[in-house]
Amino acid sequence: MIIWINGGFGAGKTTLAEELHRRLPDAVVYDPEDVGLMLWKWMRPNGDFQHLPSWRELVVATALSLRRHHADTLIVPMSLIRDAYRAEILGGLAGAGEQVLHVFLGTDAGVLRERLNARVTDPKYSEWDQAARELGMTGVDEMVAAAARQPAGTLLLRSDRLTPAELADEVLAAAGVPQVHAGGQRIWQARSLDSEET
């Protein structure tokens, strides 16, 4: 399965991905931003690499290759706010026969702004500079509004109301993915995507 974690900058995608990976140590965490950085090595950086058709194509191809050859579960923390890009990428994965759980982390605009401001001084985000913060700030309202435009089947969660552990519980329950608990024992969550309960 591919677990795609969507949401705005500062919504908690990376934190949730880390918590899921802690529970699913055999999963691969794949950040499509690395595909964009790779493309910028070969061409002049120009705005948002998500606009590049080659980025969207390579994101799908890389996810498929990683999932098929290296991991039963792929965890992908990446904002896909533009509806057409989200449909193209997630549709490409599903069209290739992959089971995709699309998670969208909704967050209040004020909380997003606080989190983005905090990144400027947080050592964890040492590469997060003022320009990146301003770029994130300009899209806060768009990111908050995007929560209402997510397609059917999206698992909508509020990252400003749930802890990372609670978010991970919800994701794993929806996915029905086996996870490692204390003592190294694997267990299955109660529900699966094939369940009639949604």
When the candidates are 3.40.50.300, 2.60.40.10, 3.30.750.210, 1.10.1740.10, the CATH number that belongs to 2-187 is 3.40.50.300
The percent helix, strand, coil of the chain (3-state, each to 5) is 50, 15, 35
35, containing H or E segment: helix 33-42
Contacts (Cβ under 8 Å, ≥6 apart) of 9? 79, 112, 116, 135, 136, 139, 140, 143
- Identify each DSSP E strand in 55-125 by its residue range: 74-77, 100-106
Please state the pTM of the whole predicted model: 0.80
Residue 197 has a pLDDT of 39
Mean pLDDT, the chain cut into blocks of 10 residues (198 residues total): 91 94 96 93 83 96 97 95 94 97 88 71 52 54 79 93 95 82 47 36
Interatomic CA distance for residues 70 and 121, integer angstroms: 36
Helix, strand, or coil (residue 53): helix
CA angle 34, 126, 111 (to 5 degrees): 90
- Give the three-state DSSP class for 125: helix
